[in-house]
Copies of this chain bind each other. A is one copy, B any other.
């Protein structure tokens, strides 16, 4: 783990909260895993949780009973990604425990108790995204996740199982599923559990109510009858049954039995004001609390076909991985950088060619994975608690996939005309097939559909413009960009907008952006990020949970929490 001193992270008023001064690195690989054992048997992989209790990410707590912290989940996220790309031959994945008497005790409570509010919220967001990625693999990658539970499966442990689409549980009297958060900790099962209970597994709400208020949870037949699990089997038959189900459930997968591509370690250089990747550069302006995320378009044309094979240097994949790493880094390690500004540089025609390649080969397993990776990465932006701006300038390449960054932004500025001293022609943007389907938001709509919710005809009209260069005036007329200052106004207008943003309350912006970004329908995923997470964030601020006498603070001390007797 690298380490940077970020001495301006916290102001004095919050200095009693735990300072996370160690930089969190999201890059890992199986040979470095401390907490998971990954094994393979034909088309079935097994991902066994085996948390090293002495390898917590931060001091102050031990990871007992297969409880997890962010470090455990970083490995899980990595494993889920690699299984998709490096193992096309794997058609189903069994999540289980390598420990004898426990499946997983959920998120580590002491870790939560000592964490700052922003860290808790970001931790939950990341774990939610990982669980959504598991469901995405099952639904869209032909890689079916199931879980095999023996021993206690509590809280976040059961929520992990809920993210898989088939749950087998040992019927042995000591194995149970439970969500003890409300009775024990005065917080919610906040990693999608409540939503998945009623919306995914359709557990009847009164049963869900009973289950979520019953510390010891449910076991055996009743758990199956209430649809908390799909199948119960004698403990001795658990893994054998899981293997059989894995084969059955994976049998419809279209993944080819061939070699995957290996995901090379992402190279980056982190400085105080600049993070350099190969295709992405992050420039941090600490005085004005913002960072520019500059995406460089591809420098050469895509291959004509698959003959030479694609690897993780393939531009769309490499760019997505770097962008994702930058997003996660900024979320966790740069909490005071409150506005992210997307810029791009490069040749629009090259981006167009890559998008055409992705669209033409979308049936190929690897291209499908790349498209899904782009989708998940862009989704991370939508739920990032940062103001998102896009600046579209001469020399930029906001086309197709890269244009999604501007469409994900809370507002975009496109320069009208050319810039003095810049030889590039005036900026233009263009649409590709990638803007019309593969890159949906968590509400199930494309960014264009969500943007033009009241004018569905507009999206059809735009589809007719695929491939055409759209100049600034036209882009504004078509509603694709927010503002189009010319050179005379550009610098001032951008500067004022960024300064203004930096002056507002972060929290009000978070609530506002979360409300404006998701017009239209809701899905399980969007419900998790809005309804459930918003309530959890609230609870994570309430004295009943986090006050000196709150349940989360006192957990494990033997002292009883004291609650405000009022309902709100």
A514 at the interface (CB under 8 A from B): yes
Partner of A454, one of B202, B337, B563: B202
What does the 1/0 interface line of A145-157 toward B look like (CB < 8 Å)?
0000000000000
Q: Does A539 contact B (CB under 8 A)?
A: yes
On whether the beta carbons of A206 and B506 are closer than 8 Å, the reply is: no
- A14 close to B564 (CB less than 8 A): yes
A393 CB, min distance to chain B CBs, angstroms: 17
Q: Do B541 and A542 touch across chains, with their CB atoms under 8 A apart? A: yes
Q: Mark A505-525, 1 if CB is under 8 A from B, else 0.
A: 111111111111111111000
On whether the beta carbons of A122 and B568 are closer than 8 Å, the reply is: yes
| A567 x B385 contact (CB < 8 A) | yes
Chain A contact residues, CB within 8 Å of chain B? 9-11, 13-14, 117-118, 121-122, 181-183, 185-188, 194-195, 197-199, 201-202, 204-210, 212-213, 227, 289, 335-338, 385-386, 409-412, 450-455, 479, 482-483, 500-501, 504-522, 527, 530-532, 534-539, 541-545, 551, 561, 563-568
Which of B14, B531, B551 touches A530 (beta carbons < 8 Å)? B531
- From the candidates B194, B210, B565, name the one contacting A506 in the complex (CB within 8 A): B565
> Is the Cβ of B506 less than 8 Å from the Cβ of A544?
yes
11 A–B contact pairs at CB < 8 A?
A10-B566, A182-B512, A186-B507, A198-B453, A204-B452, A209-B482, A210-B411, A212-B512, A336-B565, A505-B545, A506-B566
**Contact flag A531-B534 (CB < 8 Å), given A182-B508, A510-B568:** yes
A510 with B522: in contact, given A530-B530, A564-B11 (CB under 8 Å)?
Answer: no
Separation of A186 and B509 alpha carbons in the complex (Å): 8
**Those 3 A-B pairs whose CB atoms lie nearest each other, nearest first:** A202-B454, A186-B505, A534-B534
Are A500 and B531 in contact, with the CB atoms below 8 A? no
Q: From A205, A289, A336, A530, name the one whose CB has the most chain B CB atoms within 10 angstroms.
A: A205
With known contacts A195-B515, A206-B482, A522-B522, A506–B567 Cβ distance under 8 A: yes
What 14 additional pairs, Cβ within 8 angstroms, besides A187-B508, A198-B519, A202-B454? Answer: A182-B509, A186-B504, A194-B516, A197-B516, A198-B515, A201-B454, A202-B455, A205-B450, A209-B411, A213-B512, A227-B454, A511-B532, A521-B521, A531-B534
Residue of B nearest to A118 (CB): B568
**Distance in Å from the Cβ of A63 to the closest Cβ of chain B?**
24
Q: B412 and A188: CB pair below 8 A?
A: no
A451-B204 CB under 8 A given contacts A509-B182, A531-B531, A565-B336: yes
Query: For A513, what are the chain B residues with a Cβ–Cβ distance below 8 Å?
Result: 209
Is the Cβ of B11 less than 8 Å from the Cβ of A567? no
Task: Give the chain B neighbours of A227 by CB distance below 8 A.
Answer: 454
Residues of B within 8 A of A455 (CB): 202
Nearest CB in chain B to that of A205: its residue: B516
Which residues of chain B are near A565, meaning CB under 8 Å? Answer: 11, 289, 336, 338, 506
A567 contacts across to B, CB distance below 8 A: 118, 335-338, 385-386, 506, 509-510
B451 touches A205 (CB 8 A): yes
What is the distance, in angstroms, from A203's C-beta to the closest C-beta of chain B?
8
Selected contact of A535 from candidates B11, B121, B534, CB within 8 Å = B534
Whether B181 and A508, one on each chain, are in contact in the complex, defined by CB atoms closer than 8 angstroms, is yes
Residues from chain B with Cβ under 8 Å of A510 in the complex: 535, 567-568
Q: Give bound CA distance, A134 to B188, whole Å.
A: 34
Residue of B nearest to A533 (CB): B534
B545 in contact with A507 (CB, 8 Å): yes
Chain B positions within 8 Å of A512 at CB level: 182, 188, 194, 209, 212-213
